[in-house]
Structure formats: C-alpha cells, structure tokens
Amino acid sequence: MKTFYGTPLSNSLMLGTAQYPSPAILEQAFRDSGAGVATVSLRREAGAGQTFWQMVRDLSVLVLPNTAGCHTVKEAVTTAHMAREVFDTKWIKLELIGHTDSLQPDVFQLVEAARILSEDGFEVFPYSTDDLIVGERLLAAGCEVLMPWGAPIGSGRGLNNEYALRAMRAEFPEVPLVIDAGIGLPSHAAHAMELGYDAVLLNTAVARAGDPAAMAKAMKLAIEAGRLAYQADPIEARDMAEPSTPVIGKAFLS
C-alpha cells in the first residue's frame, strides 16, 4: 500500500462532498463507500456553515481541502492558506483551472503554485493532466503525489488516454498516483486500479447518481476488485485465440 505524505489509506477511494441531494445522503454515501478521504471545496461550501464542517469531521475520514474555482496562482495560494486554518491540515488538493469549458488545469501556473505551497509547508495533491513533463516539474516543485485526470471534471467519460496513464505509471513507479476526475462508472474506477494506480478521486459519479449510496458501494467494490486484479498479474491481451484445454490426450477417431 502506498502512503500519501507518510499517511497510509485504509481505502483507495477519495470521495468529494459536493452536489449531494442532502447532507443525510452525503453521509450515507460515505459510510457505504468506506472512503478514507473526503475532499472539500472551501470556496463552494463556505456558505454551508458550521453544521457542514461538523458533519465532515464526524465522518472520521481524512480531509483533503481543495482550491476548486481558482484561476490564478494568487487565488489558489490564498485559498490554500484559508483551508489550512479551517481544517488544520497540511494537505491541499491544488486545482488551478485554465480552460473554462473543459476545466483543464493550467499546468504552467499549477507548477508555480505547487512550488510556493510546498515551500510553505503544504503537502500538495496537484490536479493535473497526464503529461510526463508536467509530472516531472511538479515533483521537482516539491509534490510527492501526482493526480492526473482521467477525463474532464464531471464528464463521466472514464479514462480518455489509457496510453498516457500507463506511461505515467511506468515513468513514476514509486510515486503515489491518483486518477482524479472523469470517472463515471465502477468499471472506470476498476480500470484505473488495474493500471496500477494507487487511488481514485471522484465526486459527480456518486453525488448525482439516482442512488448515491448504492453507487458509492459499487465504487468501493470496483476499486477493491481492480486493485486485486493488478496484484494478481493479469494475462496480456492476444490477437489470436489460445485454447484453454490442451490437445494432448485428445482421442483420435478413425
């Protein structure tokens, strides 16, 4: 099991807290998911008040505040400092959006913000693209975790570029890697874990499902299955058929 800044997770699912129909449904989804980490947007949930914050604390999970909605380095750094005061944690999920429609990260500002926050004692979880050079720059800036996207936030498309994600796993074998964004189905989450990723972060797929609690449980089971499959060293795909029953010992009839 990989550790994240020295902290092991009991479950490889990181679950967001936005868009649920009600606080009660959010709480039940977390219970059924077994998620070890709750991601919270300080900006989005600022109006929810102390009741929301207390509910998150009562979940007894690690809290990963994020800088959702930030578009500049200054915005992201300021939001991170506010989140550290509110949640009393060094962890920060660094989101720095560069494209309005796709919500693609601005990787240039992302690296700069990661450097500033790392130097200030934060433990940064950077939401990034699946680019190897960006990954290298983020690690050089002080990050010890990489979080490439599977697909655009909230799209539910799964893993858009499996080749790039496989390359990232191969390039950074010792770095904790988290698929962040784009997961829509349990099969997508299982696929991410089958590629050797260490965790999956998702929100919309559970929060906006017809039955969030049931979907949360499905995601939990899918992630467990995907991890077990990766550890079992699965067979490689073949272009041709291969009989599962040998022909040795077959009767020949004249």
Residue 242 lies in a domain: no
Q: What is the CATH number of the domain that holds 73?
A: 3.20.20.70
Q: Dig out the tokens for 114 from the structure.
A: 């990661």
* Residues placed in the known binding site: 154, 181-182, 203-204
Give the range of the structural domain holding residue 51, as residue numbers without chain letter: 3-232
Summarize pLDDT for 167-194 with one digit per residue, the tens: 999 999 999 999 999 999 999 999 999 9
Q: Is residue 35 part of a domain?
A: yes
93 is catalytic: yes
pLDDT tens by residue, 34-53: 998 999 987 655 555 667 77
Is pTM, for the whole model, over 0.85?
yes
Residue 246 lies in a domain: no
Residue 45: its pLDDT value, please?
55
What pLDDT, on a 0 to 100 scale, did the predictor assign at position 254? 62
If one counts the domains in the chain, the total is: 1
Residue 190 lies in a domain: yes
Q: Please check whether residue 237 lies inside any domain of the structure.
A: no
Bind-site residues for 1-deoxy-D-xylulose 5-phosphate: 154, 181-182, 203-204
d(CA 96, CA 78) in angstroms, rounded, equals 12
Choosing from 93, 217, 220, 250, the catalytic residue is: 93
Evaluate whether residue 148 is within a structural domain.
yes
* Structure confidence at residue 58 as a pLDDT band (50, 70, 90): confident
* Residue 89 resides in a domain: yes
In a domain, 241, yes or no: no
